[in-house]
Amino acid sequence: MKNLYLDYNSHTPCDTSVIIAMHDVWSQPGNPHSGSHSFGWAKQQLVSDSLATFTDIYDCFEEELLFTSGATEANNLAIYSGIPIAKKINPKADTILTSHLEHKSVLNPLEIAADKYGLKLLYVDITSEGIIDLKDMQTKLEQNNVLWVSCTMTNGVIGTNQPIYQVVELCQRYNAMLHVDASQAGYLDIACHDLQVDFLTLSAHKIYGPSGIGLLYSKHLQNPEFMPIISGGGQQDGLRAGTLPVPLIVGFAQAAKILDDTKETEASGLRALRDRLLNGLNQALPITVFGDLDDRHPGNLYLAIENIDSMQLLNNLQPHIAFSLGSACDGLSREYSPIMKAMGIPKNIAECAFRICIGRMTTNEEVDLAIKLITDGVNKICR
């Protein structure tokens, strides 16, 4: 039997056209930072062409973009380099605001930065639908002198989109710097200038591009307080040293372009497949779905089957079907999920929760097989 991959929030395989776009570049000699010969110029040209694609899609300027190894590095860089800038602009501010909707690559650096700079770290409430509680955010902004806010655009576990324009508006009103992790938000419009965010994170392997490449957008890259976390040969204007991986950059640009051209039709196709999966599971099993069904990543379902331990179900179904209990970085952790806790979901129900995410390569037949495998798996546990 074919093993089913339903874990597209964790990783999306490269689109065929991305592989084709990268193919010839791997074997081309030349370092894009070699400015003295034609091999270097050819690579520089590929980087420039890719940057033109990114600035067009993500509504920003070339000099506001920095290549990183992925979203983890971009989040770290935003926080470690951005907080000193925010401190310079707003020296009296002493509080960081975030929420349990964030990925660990945001939460861990925020804890470290709070400790380093002696800042308070506060978590905004989350509604039972998995959305940031804007009233609580406003209260916390009113009652504290907030320096920095990190808010995801689309959560990577329950898949809910966040009201990012309202968050921007609140941050501007209270003069707080805003960092947005948009790595799971590929199906939304990510327009940096229109959004007026300070920092924004992107990752290629969440949008059918290659692993190992991401982008940090910031309007503060030219600020002298910007503190690089990788230094060396002075590449990328000294802001992030290391030779640029041109094949990955070309692949990332191709992936971004395809998604930009097709995201509306692709999203509606994914929603139809997701509904097929949900209806099939609903007919056979007592299911609870967490989070708003419309305003979320179109392939994502975060659900629980009553009284069925999701870890046991997932283990029993290996190697036939791949889904996950939460973020890939949480692995098989049995910790009471901070998101579920913040949403007010009791621990015994949280232990039944799991994430399925279908994607570009998923078919009707695979969805039907997934329904059968999960239903059979549950029946075996109940027997």
Binding site for ligand PLP (CB under 6 A): 10, 70-72, 103, 105, 152, 156, 181, 183-184, 203, 205, 214, 327-328
Nearer to ligand PLP by Cβ, of 182 and 314: the residue is 182
Output DSSP code: residue 268.
H
Nearer to ligand PLP by Cβ, of 156 and 377: the residue is 156
**Separation CA 137–CA 99 (nearest Å):** 10
Nearest to 183 by CA among 197, 163, 203: 203
**Separation CA 121–CA 110 (nearest Å):** 8
3-state secondary structure (DSSP) of residue 361: coil
- Please report how close the Cβ of residue 327 comes to ligand PLP at its closest, in angstroms: 5
**Separation CA 284–CA 41 (nearest Å):** 60
Output DSSP code: residue 322.
E
Q: Which two tokens stand for residue 279?
A: 């209806």
Nearer to ligand PLP by Cβ, of 55 and 105: the residue is 105
352 is catalytic: no
Rounded to 5 degrees, what angle do the CA atoms 34, 37, 43 make?
Answer: 55
**Sequence-distant (≥ 6) Cβ neighbours of residue 230 within 8 angstroms:** 240, 241, 242
- Please report how close the Cβ of residue 181 comes to ligand PLP at its closest, in angstroms: 5
- Please report how close the Cβ of residue 99 comes to ligand PLP at its closest, in angstroms: 12
Rounded to 5 degrees, what angle do the CA atoms 71, 74, 79 make?
Answer: 125
- Please report how close the Cβ of residue 73 comes to ligand PLP at its closest, in angstroms: 7
Nearer to ligand PLP by Cβ, of 108 and 127: the residue is 108
Cβ–Cβ < 8 Å for 158, 339: yes
Residue count of the chain, please give it. Answer: 383
- Please report how close the Cβ of residue 158 comes to ligand PLP at its closest, in angstroms: 11
Nearer to ligand PLP by Cβ, of 295 and 376: the residue is 295
Question: Does an H or E element contain 54, and which?
Answer: helix 38-57
Nearer to ligand PLP by Cβ, of 311 and 328: the residue is 328
- Please report how close the Cβ of residue 1 comes to ligand PLP at its closest, in angstroms: 28
Question: Does an H or E element contain 43, and which?
Answer: helix 38-57
Catalytic site residue from 14, 151, 329, 382:
329
Q: Which two tokens stand for residue 101?
A: 């909707």
**Sequence-distant (≥ 6) Cβ neighbours of residue 376 within 8 angstroms:** none
The identity of residue 257, as a single letter, is: K
- Please report how close the Cβ of residue 218 comes to ligand PLP at its closest, in angstroms: 16
The sheet with strand 146-152 has its strands ordered as 65-68, 214-218, 199-203, 177-181, 146-152, 95-98, 120-123
By beta-carbon distance, which residue lies closest to ligand PLP? 156
Nearer to ligand PLP by Cβ, of 10 and 161: the residue is 10
- Please report how close the Cβ of residue 369 comes to ligand PLP at its closest, in angstroms: 25
Nearer to ligand PLP by Cβ, of 308 and 339: the residue is 339
For residue 196, is it left (φ>0), alpha (ψ between -120 and 50) or beta?
A: left
Would you state the torsion angle of the CA atoms of residues 84, 86, 91, 92, taken in this order, to the nearest 10 degrees? Answer: -130
Active site residues: 329
